[in-house]
Amino acid sequence: MQSLATPKCDPWSRNHLLRDAIGQAIYDRMVSDPSIHLFGEGCHVKVHYDAPNIEWDFSDRVHTLPISEDGNVNFAVGASLLGVKPVVDIITADFLYRAMDSICNTAAKANFVRPDQPPATIVIRAEFLTGGPTTGQRPEALFTHIPGLNVVIPSTPRDAYGLMLTALREPGVTLFFEDRMIQDGLIEEHDRRCYAPVGMGYAHERRHGNLKPDCTVVVYGLMRQRAEKALDPMLNIDLLDLRTIYPIDWVQIKASVRRSRNLLIIEPDVQYGGVGAEIVATIAEKMPEVRIKRLGGSRVTIPAAMHLQGGMMPTEEQIRDAVTNW
Amino acid sequence: MTLLQTGKRTLTETMLLVRAVEDRLQELCLEGLAGDLHFSKGQEAICVGVCAALRETDYVVTHHRSIAHAIAKGVPLEPLLAEILGKAEGMNRGMAGEMHMSYPAKRFMFSWQLVGTCVPVAAGLAWAVKNYLKTDDVVVCFHGDAATANGQWHEGVNIAAVQALPLLLVCENNAMAGNVTPEYYSPFGGAMATGRAAGYVIHPDSVDGNDVGAVYQAATKNLAYVRKYHRPVLLECQTTRLGRHKQGQGDLRGKDEIAELAKRDPLRTATPEERQHVEAEVQELFRRVLTC
């Protein structure tokens, strides 16, 4: 493992552990399921660099499409009607706005309008980068609003592998995010082991406090790493990594909050109208005695100048402060 | 009109069936028993002629004005009407309705409400036919002339051309986008689809879409090309929409204008005997469906 003193989220550090785990999961499923095909912009080039084992063994199942994100997802829906299980690579999460129509109007409804037929399996991939104004956006919360979509944001290679296995095995449409800002150097050995499927809608309890923890910290994506780095392991807290923001693991959240009575949600995204708001509202309705805090990014456009990009996400100091001062 | 057969019916009888079913559905719309449906009155010859030229195993993908296409492709009428009327006995259990229905047993694969979506979906289907199932079947994608102004049309046609897919694009050119006339959405004037085909290096063809025999012949010729060379073809059919865009929406055209268009009605030569025969069948059909 690299030193914990690795530089801050550096877009050029080329984090690759999550990407490798996703590639391995796709490869492993391709071995046993001949209906899985990969589509995307420059797909054969991306596979060449990122997943050489797929290129080596399944180059005939890798298909490069034009830079037409919206058309590409509709194309994949068409292929899925005949039993193909497409993995569509949208490349960068910002490009998802281009494909909102085909994802939300076509793919998300495709299984609903044919209850008489076997449901399709479609995986749509995108990665989070950094930068602005349109290269570091995090549109994941928008998609949790759309019925018919699973939204997956793993924070460890182990979860990325397990969730991709599940996404390709189960029927349904999954939006699978890869956070390129999760630093390889901070990923511990046990989180690197890729061996088993992970179900949709099961949070991972990263830390478990005693019978009466001081608070429940709910995180997803990049914030798992930042919270673990910021928070002393001796603190008496429950730390839940959601892994999928739709479906959400209400059972674990409620079980933990019932013990702690304090809930802190940390999201790597604009806080306004985000995933945290949904969790807060649900818990506040069902358990009004719980004290609630949220940490997230400001609702501002990301400037291109890197030195102005602070405040886009909660810092370690803010996380420490929120956990210790209730 | 020669006696070309689709199943047990002549093409004229199939067109009359479409017309009679849609007329009866229109009555139900006015009675509040059906939603605001999209009818193909005046455009029946295109889907009936093209589907008659298809093999049973060829695929159809279409847009929101899909009732006529489903009938022409041979979807059984009871589950079709039950679907349109929102019944659980419908072919998609009432979940899809007129604009999203599908019936894969008859290779009626996909219809979609949003203009243009059907084109890239049809390209994906054609890709799967060619590269996954590896059969020599062909996909037909019906779309309207207004769809040629939509990005999805262009993205879909581009992919189909690049990937050399067995896709016959049939443009039902009724020179209307809802109530809007082509000067608002096409720089080509009348022949908007074929004018655009050159941009994708695909073969264009055009035919009088109100002459079912001519449509059948054009479709037969182009389907043979698509099947043999695995290249998309764009067949533009000039037609006339005699009804509204959809029920519940006004029509800006005057009665004189529609009467002028009706002179090209593909069913203007149908005999009263033919009409009566089909109408009796449709009455019985609706009686069964409405009581189920």
What CATH number corresponds to the domain at position A97? 3.40.50.970
A43, B86 Cβ separation under 8 angstroms:
no
- What's the mean pLDDT in B212-218? 97
Q: Do A35 and B127 touch (CB under 8 A)?
A: no
Q: Is residue A274 part of a domain?
A: yes
Q: Which residues in chain B have Cβ-Cβ distances shorter than 8 Å to A84?
A: 128, 132
Question: Does residue A144 share a domain with residue A268?
Answer: no
Report whether pLDDT(B109) > 90: yes
User: Residue B9 — left, alpha, or beta (φ > 0 → left; ψ -120 to 50 → alpha)?
Assistant: beta
Same domain, A133 and A215: no
Contact between A68 and B122 using a beta-carbon 8 Å cutoff: no
| Model pLDDT, residue A5 | 40
- Our CA angle for B35, B40, B45, nearest 5°, is 155
| A226 shares a domain with A167 | no
Q: What's residue B80's pLDDT?
A: 97
Same domain, A35 and A172: yes
Helices (H), chain A: 17-32, 43-50, 52-58, 69-80, 100, 108-110, 140-143, 157-169, 189-192, 222-230, 250-260, 275-286, 316-324
Q: Which of A296, A223, A287, A304 is nearest to A253 (CA)?
A: A287
Domain assignment of residue B59, given as a range:
5-290
Mean pLDDT confidence for A285-307: 93
d(CA B45, CA A81): 28
Whether the pLDDT of residue A118 is over 60: the answer is: yes
Shared domain for A222 and A185, answered yes or no, is no
Shared domain for A85 and A32, answered yes or no, is yes
Span A294-312, mean pLDDT?
88
Task: Give the Cα separation of A102 and B156 in Å (integer).
Answer: 12
pLDDT confidence of residue B7:
58
Among residues B141, B82, B139, B90, which one has the least CA distance to residue B111? Answer: B141
Q: What is the mean pLDDT of residues A105-111?
A: 97
CATH number of the domain residue A217 falls in: 3.40.50.920
Contacts of B91 in chain A (CB under 8 A): 116
Give how many domains chain B has, as a whole number. Answer: 1
Shortest Cα distance, chain A CAs vs residue B61, angstroms: 9
Contact across the interface for B126 and A70, Cβ inside 8 Å: no
Q: Which residues of A touch B61 (CB under 8 A)?
A: 78
Question: What does the mean pLDDT of chain B come to?
Answer: 93
Say yes or no: A167 and A293 in one domain.
no
- Say whether both A24 and A76 belong to one domain: yes
Q: Do residue A77 and residue A143 come from a single domain?
A: yes
Q: Mark which of A192, A225, A260 sits at the end of a domain.
A: A192
Residues in B lying within 8 Å of A, measured between beta carbons: 61, 91-93, 95-96, 100-102, 104, 109-110, 112, 114, 117, 120-129, 132-133, 151-152, 155-156, 158-159, 162
Residue A39: closest C-alpha in chain B: B124
- What is the span of the domain harbouring residue A315? 204-324
Q: Which among A141, A169, A192 is the end of a domain? A: A192
Instruction: Return mean pLDDT, chain A.
Output: 93
Query: If you average pLDDT over residues B95-116, what whole number do you get?
Result: 96
- The pair of structure tokens assigned to A44 is 């054969």
Asked whether the beta carbons of residue A78 and residue B151 sit closer than 8 angstroms, the reply is no
pLDDT at B22: 96
Please give the pLDDT value at position A6.
Answer: 42
Question: Quick check: is A2 in a domain?
Answer: no
Per-residue pLDDT at B190: 73
Indicate whether B198 pLDDT > 90.
no
Confidence band for B192, pLDDT divided at 50, 70 and 90: confident
Which residues on A lie below 8 Å from B95 (Cβ)? Answer: 112-115
Interface test mutation site (partner A, options B117, B118, B131, B139, max chain A beta carbons within 10 A) = B117
Same domain, A247 and A308: yes
Nearest chain B residue (CA) to A114: B92
* pLDDT for B1 beyond 60: no
* A92 and A132 share one domain: yes
Asked, for residue A44, whether it belongs to a domain, the answer is yes
Q: What is the mean pLDDT of residues A92-99?
A: 96
pLDDT (0 to 100) of residue A312: 83
Judge: B159–A80 Cβ closer than 8 Å, yes or no.
no
Q: Which residues in chain B have their CB less than 8 angstroms from residue A112's CB?
A: 95
How many domains does chain A divide into?
2
pLDDT class of A207 with cuts at 50, 70, 90: very high
Give the pLDDT confidence score for residue B6 in this predicted structure: 54
Q: How far apart are CA A24 and CA A45, in angstroms?
A: 17
CATH code where residue B205 lies: 3.40.50.970
Residue A174 resides in a domain: yes
**What's the mean pLDDT in A130-152?**
94
Question: Residues A68, A214: one domain?
Answer: no
Residue A260 lies in a domain: yes
d(CA A160, CA A198): 9
Distance of CA B210 to the CA centre of its chain: 13
Q: Which pair of structure tokens corresponds to residue A253?
A: 């959240």
Say if residues B239 and B43 touch (Cβ distance below 8 Å).
Answer: yes
What ipTM describes this predicted complex?
0.95
User: Given a cut of 50, is residue B13 above it in pLDDT?
Assistant: yes
Q: List chain A residues with CB under 8 Å of B127.
A: 63, 75, 78-79
Range B187-211 average pLDDT: 88
Rounded-to-5 percentages of helix, strand, coil across chain A: 40, 20, 35
Specify if A197 maps to a domain: no
